[in-house]
Amino acid sequence: MDHSILLIDDEEILRKTLSDDLEEEGFHVTTAVNGEEGLEQFKTQHPDLVIVDLIMEGMNGIQVSQEIKKLQPNAPIMILTGHGTLESAIDALKLKVQDYILKPVKRDELLSKINNCLDNLLPRRTLKNRKPAYSQNLQLEKVGLTKRQREVASLASQGYNDEEIAQVLKISVFTVKFHLKKAFKKLNIHKRVELILSSN
């Protein structure tokens, strides 16, 4: 699957280098030179992942992330910064961004973080036409999943994250993780994305 990434950074050299690296890896990359342009791109492009620099002229990375979260609360965001502070890290955590990465970061390390993020947060828009009847597709009962494990696996297969599953089923995030781990083992699945793709 081709994933789309919106890269927002006012440093031209870094923006182009990172964009080229990501496109080399098969990602579709849209770039923006500042926060305002990035927001407009987000509204029209609906990217799978947003990577935004923390320190920029005009809107900074935290402000951009806040506005994006207003538009799409579950939007996956990674913040890059060469000037990390405890305050900005706390602000990022409050926004529930997927990662807060200090520059310089090695290419392979960044790509690994991006791939892990996308594996765990398959874009909602690719799931719109996905059938919710996951129990029929993979015959969960036949592989010995309990009722709760089937419920958790079914929601995960539709792209819900752990916190959302916990809210829907009115259980703790810890319990969600416990049941997913059991379900993965019984289904011989190692990554969340395998669960989602198997239900297609």
Q: Please write the tens of the pLDDT for every residue from 101-130.
A: 988 888 889 988 898 888 766 544 444 444
Q: Are 58 and 35 in contact (CB under 8 A)?
A: yes
Greatest pairwise CA separation for the chain in angstroms = 57
Between residues 102 and 142, the one the model is more confident about: 102
Q: Choose the weakest-confidence range: 36-40, 88-92, 131-135, 188-192.
A: 131-135
Question: What pLDDT sits at residue 189?
Answer: 81
Q: How many CA atoms lie within 13 A of 105 on its CB side?
A: 25
The DSSP output letter for 85 is -
Question: What pLDDT sits at residue 28?
Answer: 93
Domains located in the chain, CATH noted: 4-121 (3.40.50.2300), 129-198 (1.10.10.10)
Strand order in the sheet with 49-53: 28-32, 4-8, 49-53, 77-81, 99-102
